[in-house]
Structure 1
Amino acid sequence: MKKAVFFDIDGTLMDCLNGITDITPRVKKAIRAVQAKGNYVFIATGRPYAFLNEATCNFGFDGFVLTNGSYVKVKEKCIYKESINKDFIKELVYNVEQHNIQYILQGETYSYIKDEYKKLHSFYDSYSISKKYLQGNYNIEEIDTYKIEMSCYDKQGIDYCLSLGRNSDYEIYSTEGDHFDLYSKTNSKASGILKVLDFLNIPLENSYAFGDGKNDIEMLSTVGCGIAMGNADDYVKSYARRVTDTVQNDGVALEIEKFIL
């Protein structure tokens, strides 16, 4: 029976803030060994397509669970997508602009960010994100949004972003003190993974996931075997069945070599 393995990016396959901006050679070799045995490998990330670097896109993954499960591809086929309600987006954009909050609307291929949002552009530069699929000129009526990221300048903006968590339909997640992700509660990496498994007819017990962050907890506790990175905090590790080494020490490769293969 075939297996499916899902990988988070930041803090799992890469560590952009500490200089690891591509999958290391040993990890690449291990992932390809999984595929060589007829199994499937997927990216499962909070990132939109626009935030994937060229090396990741061209690696040969069998598909992508993007924007926390709101857009899912197997090979070149989209098997699921659910954008955020457009009226909600328009109201949110109006409110965040009133609070001097910079934002990006993340779509299927392109993501949309105003050219003058220097702070937010600088944040993405620190993660070596290309501007190839970032557009500054767009009509909000003509685009679909799957996730929103916001960057605040002051406590008033932070308090507003935190207040969005009281909305029963949307999740607000703080990646840093003044940087927030907002996405629909109906989607997650776990829900996207389950759609992939159903599409490929792979039993849950033959699924594996690697992750390190709090937004990985649901997928780590949903798949047949969740594997936390050594650099994850203890809270995240408590939801995993196994713990491997850090990104710097090729933790993904170590676990593939001694356990999955």
Structure 2
Amino acid sequence: MNKVVFFDIDGTLIDCLNGITDITPRVKKAIRGLQEKGNYVFIATGRPYAFLNEDLLNFGFDGFVLTNGSYVKVADKCIYKESIKKEIVKELVGNFEELNIEYILQGETYSYIKDEYKKLHSYYDSFSIPKKHLEGNYNLEEVDIYKIEMLLNDKKGIDYCLSLEDDNFDYVHNVELGSFELYSKTNSKASGILKVLNFLNIPLENSYAFGDGKNDIEMLSTVGCGIAMGNADDSVKSYAKKVTDTVQNDGVALEIEKFII
């Protein structure tokens, strides 16, 4: 029976802040080895399509679980998508602008960010985010939004964003960087993964996932075998069945070589 392996990006396949901006040769070889044996390999990420660089897009992954499961593709076919209600997006945007919070609206192919948000643009430059699918001119009525990210400047903005967690939304907040990711509670990497498994008719016990962050917890605890990176927080590791080495030490390759293959 074929297996399906899902990979987070940041802190798992790459580590832009520490100089690893592409998948290392050893990890690439290990992932190719999975495919050569007839297994499927997917990206499962909080990133939208616009944040995927050419190396990731051209690698040959069998599909993508994007924006924390709110947009899912198998090969070139979208098998699931659920955008945030437009009236909610409009209300949030109005509040962000009133509080001087820089934000980006993440869509299906394009993500939407105002040209004057220099600090936020600089933030994404530090992660080597490509510019090709970032759009500064857009009509809020005409775009579908799947996730929102913000950069916070002061306590007032932080307090507002922290207040957004409710029955509809969850978030990831990086205090050190001042970044904030807001996404729908009805979707997660885990829910996206389950849709992929159902579409491919592959049992849960034949699924694996690698991750390191808070938004990986659900998928690590849902798949047949969740594997936490060595650089993950202990709180994340506690939800995994296995813990591998760090991204810097090719942790993904090590676990594929000795366990999955």
TM-score range, shorter chain: over 0.9
| Cα deviation digits, residues 197-251 of structure 1 (max 9, x gap) | 0000000000000000111000000000000001111111110000100011100
List, as ranges, runs of 4+ consecutive aligned residues in structure 1 with deviation greater than 4 Å.
none
Q: What is the distance in 2 between the residues matched to 1:75 and 1:234?
A: 34
Alignment partner, residue 123 of structure 2:
123
- State the TM-score, normalized to the length of structure 2: 0.99
- Give the structure 1 partner of residue 146 of structure 2: 146
Matches within 5 A, 1:70-85: 70-85=70-85
Q: Which amino acid aligns with 1:45?
A: T
Aligned to 1:193: 193
Deviations 1:83-122 (A, max 9, x none): 0000000011001100000000000000000000011101
Residues 36-47 of structure 1: matches in 2 within 5 Å? 36-47=36-47
- Map of 1:1-261 to 2, 5 A cutoff? 1-165=1-165, 167-177=166-176, 178-261=178-261
Residue identity (%): 80
What one-letter code is carried by the residue in structure 2 that aligns with 1:252?
V
Q: Distance in 2 between matches of 1:247 and 1:22?
A: 11
Tell me which amino acid in the other structure corresponds to 2:200. Answer: L
CA RMSD of aligned residues (A): 0.7
Query: Offset at 1:72?
Result: 0.1
Residue 239 of structure 2 aligns with an amino acid whose one-letter code is: Y
Q: CA deviation at 1:176?
A: 3.6
Q: Distance in 1 between matches of 2:56 and 2:203?
A: 26
Structure 2: tracts of 5 or more residues without a match: none
Structure 2: how far apart are the matches of 1:45 and 1:88? 23
**What secondary structure, in the 3-state scheme, does the structure 1 residue paired with 2:164 have?**
helix
Counterpart AA for 1:251: G
Moved more, 77-86 or 171-180: 171-180
Q: Tell me the distance in 2 between the aligned counterparts of 1:70 and 1:128.
A: 23
TM-score by length of 1: 0.99
- Alpha-carbon shift at residue 150 of structure 1 (Å): 0.8
How many residues are paired up?
260
How far did residue 79 of structure 1 move?
Answer: 0.2
Q: Secondary structure at the match of 2:181?
A: strand
C-alpha separation in 2, matches of 1:90 and 1:206: 41
Deviation (angstroms), 1:80 = 0.1
